Structure formats: C-alpha cells, structure tokens
Amino acid sequence: MSKGIKNVVAEMYKGRKINTFLIFFIISFMIWTLIKLSNTYTDTITMDVAYTNLADDKILLGNQKNIIEAQVKTTGFRMLRQKFFKNTIEVDLKKVNKLKTEEAFYVLADDAINKHLYQETEILKVSPDTLFLKLGKNKTKEVPVIHQLELAFENGYNLYDSLRIEPKKITISGPEDVVDAQKVVYTEIRQIEAINKDIALDIKLLKNDTLKRLMYSTSKVKVVAKVDKFTEGKLSIPLTVINLPSGYSIKLFPKEVNITFTANVSDFNEITKNDFSILCDYKDIQNTNASFFIPKLGKRPKTVKTFRIDNKKINFLIKK
C-alpha cells in the first residue's frame, strides 16, 4: 500500500516538473520573439494595386500593372503587419497625372505606396517606379445569344417546339472598338445524346482572348425545350391549281396526292387533311413545253415537323 502511494506521488512530482519546464520554455520563446521583432529589418513586400473611382463612361485599357514590389526598412512588427494586413494599394483615378498622349496617365509608385505604409517605414526601392495607365471609352450594348448545342434524340423523340434561350440577349460592355465589332455572343459547344425528356440546362457563354476585355451581364444562360414522342402519318390531299387564266379548264392526273408527315404524339390526332394544301402553279409551266406540274406545299400545321409529298409529277390536260 505504501509503495503504491509513493509511485503516485512520484508521478505527480514528475508531471509538475514537465509543466514547469513548458511554461518557462513558452515564456522564454515569447520574450525572444518580441526582441527579434523589435529589431529593424530590410525586406521586399508585394502589394496588389486596386484602381478606384473609374468614371462610368471610361475603362482601363491595356495590361496595366496590378502588382508593385517595394523594398522597405522597418521593425519586424511593422513588417509582419504590412505583409498580412495592409497589402493592397488603392490608386484613385481622379488624382492621376495626365501625359501629353490622349487618354494616357501616370502615377508615381512611391506616392501610391506611401499612403499605405505604416509610420516609420522607409522605402528603399520600388518596382515599377511609375504606373502608366490608358483610359478608353466604355460602351454598352445588347447582343443576341446563339447556342452551339448538338442534340441527338432517342428513337421516337424530337423537339415539341423550338429550343429557347433565356435570356435571348445579354448586355456587354467594354472598349468601344471591341463592343462595336461584337454582333452576337456564343455559348460553349456541348453535345447531348439520347434525349427522351424535356431539356433544361445552364450553359456557359464563350469568351476568347479578345472577348476577355468585355464584361457580360451574365456568364451563363438557360436552354429549355419541350421534348415529346413523335410518330408518322399519311393523308391524301386534293390538288389545287392556282394562277390559271380565265377561259381555261384543267384536269389533273391524279387529282389527289399523298403526303407523309411526322408530328408529336400529343398533336397527331388533331391533324386533318383540311390543315394541308398542295398546289400546282400554272405560272410554273406557262410559256414552257412542260407536260407535268411539280406539286408544292401551300400550307401545313405548325405541329408538323417534317413532310414529304409522295407524288413528284402531276400530269395535266388543259382546255381553252
């Protein structure tokens, strides 16, 4: 029993020695760090450049510098604070200096950095030492969006109506010359296969190297369309002669022709022969030696997707 108590007391004593050592180590490290950070150092800091107060009708042109490197001399405390908490320079475009060249400006990097450094920080060197800027006219306009989708439907399926893009147009803004040259905006190219249900997807708008200078009101559009099953039908349609001069009579052989068409299943039963007209135009044979008409479709329902007139030649007998 007494041996066990001794072991417990020994372990407690050992633990207290370790804790005491850790406390002294941490305190010593903190004191050493404070001493080091109080010393003066020379180092290079990198600062991002943010341009502010750009007029609505202006835009920055070219590849202006967005980063400045400065070699500075200051205490370790200020160096750390500068690197982690104050690493962005704001350049007020209302206060830049104008060059003789039209719409060209500059600002001295030293002046820009000084406003963003902590006190008692000495600037030794700045690269670049001058920021050169060029401003152009900013223009905005609306352009249509053109999709680049390649659709492949499962057998027996097709679009019920046309593919819709939402929004149909977007607003682009940027340098006047680039905006003027841009007539449309294209979506990315995408293939969709084995389609058997309604289409609803988001698709990105394309930007090549030139268009990267433009701002889009949206980076993507929605493409939607209703998809339905379709089937094939056949109807016999009477022929109609048009533009026949007065005083003439004409007989057609045959008097009716077959039209084969496809339509969505949901619309198929509503389609009748009265929805079609197939024409033979007298003007097509007038002053010719033609002995037949080539029938042409006069009207068809909007719900018909494809059609084919089975009779290609219509013989006739004309009397005056």
The pLDDT confidence band at residue 37, using thresholds 50, 70 and 90, is: low
Q: Is residue 1 part of a domain?
A: no
For residue 8, is pLDDT > 50? no
Same domain for 217 and 167 = yes
Same domain for 142 and 185 = yes
Q: Is residue 24 part of a domain?
A: no
Gap between the Cα atoms of 81 and 162, Å rounded? 60
Q: Which of 198, 225, 252 is the last residue of a domain?
A: 225
For residue 194, is pLDDT > 50? yes
Print burial letters for 100-121: b (CB count within 10 Å at least 16), e (below 16).
eeeebbebebeebbeebbeeeb
**Tens digit of pLDDT for each residue in 195-226?**
999 999 999 999 887 788 788 999 999 999 99
Same domain for 234 and 215 = no
- In the chain, the number of structural domains is 3
Q: Which of 65, 97, 128 is the last residue of a domain?
A: 128
Which residues neighbour 174 within 8 Å (Cβ) at sequence distance 6 or greater?
Answer: 59, 138, 139, 213, 214, 215
Same domain for 121 and 153 = no
For residue 156, is pLDDT > 70? yes
pTM metric for this prediction: 0.54
Q: Is residue 18 part of a domain?
A: no
Same domain for 51 and 118 = yes
Residue 184 sits in a domain whose CATH number is 2.170.120.40
**Tens digit of pLDDT for each residue in 261-316?**
999 998 999 999 999 999 999 999 998 989 999 999 999 999 898 999 999 999 99
For residue 49, is pLDDT > 50? yes
For residue 106, is pLDDT > 70? no
Q: Is residue 293 part of a domain?
A: yes
More confident residue, 25 or 303: 303
Q: Which amino acid is at 159?
A: L
More confident residue, 92 or 117: 92
Same domain for 303 and 244 = yes
For residue 179, is pLDDT > 80? yes
Mapping DSSP onto H, E and C, the string for the chain reads: CHHHHHHHHHHHHHHHHHHHHHHHHHHHHHHHHHHHHHCEEEEEEEEEEEEECCCCCEEEECCCCCEEEEEEEEEHHHHHHHHHHCCEEEEECCCCEECCCCCEEEEEHHHHHHCCCCCCCEEEEEECCEEEEEEEEEEEEEEEEEEEEEEEECCCEEECCCCEEECCEEEEEEEHHHHHHCCCEEEEEEEEEEECCCEEEEEEECCCCCHHHCEECCCEEEEEECEEEEEEEEEEEEEEEECCCCCCEEEEECCEEEEEEEEEHHHHCCCCHHHCEEEEEHHHCCCCCCCEECCEEEECCCCEEEEEECCCCEEEEEEC
Token digits for 276?
């079609």
Same domain for 154 and 76 = no
Q: Is residue 17 part of a domain?
A: no
Mean pLDDT of the chain: 83
Same domain for 246 and 309 = yes
More confident residue, 97 or 36: 97
At 269 the pLDDT is 93
At 261 the pLDDT is 96
* Mean of pLDDT values over 147-168: 92
Q: Is residue 262 part of a domain?
A: yes
Domain assignment of residue 77, given as a range: 40-128
Residue 294 sits in a domain whose CATH number is 2.170.120.30
More confident residue, 17 or 226: 226
Q: Which of 107, 128, 149 is the last residue of a domain?
A: 128
Query: 254: cis peptide before it, omega within 30°?
Result: yes
Q: Is residue 278 part of a domain?
A: yes
Same domain for 105 and 156 = no
Same domain for 242 and 216 = no
Kindly report which listed range (11-25, 94-108, 153-167) carries the lowest average pLDDT score: 11-25
Same domain for 147 and 123 = no
At 314 the pLDDT is 95
Same domain for 209 and 234 = no
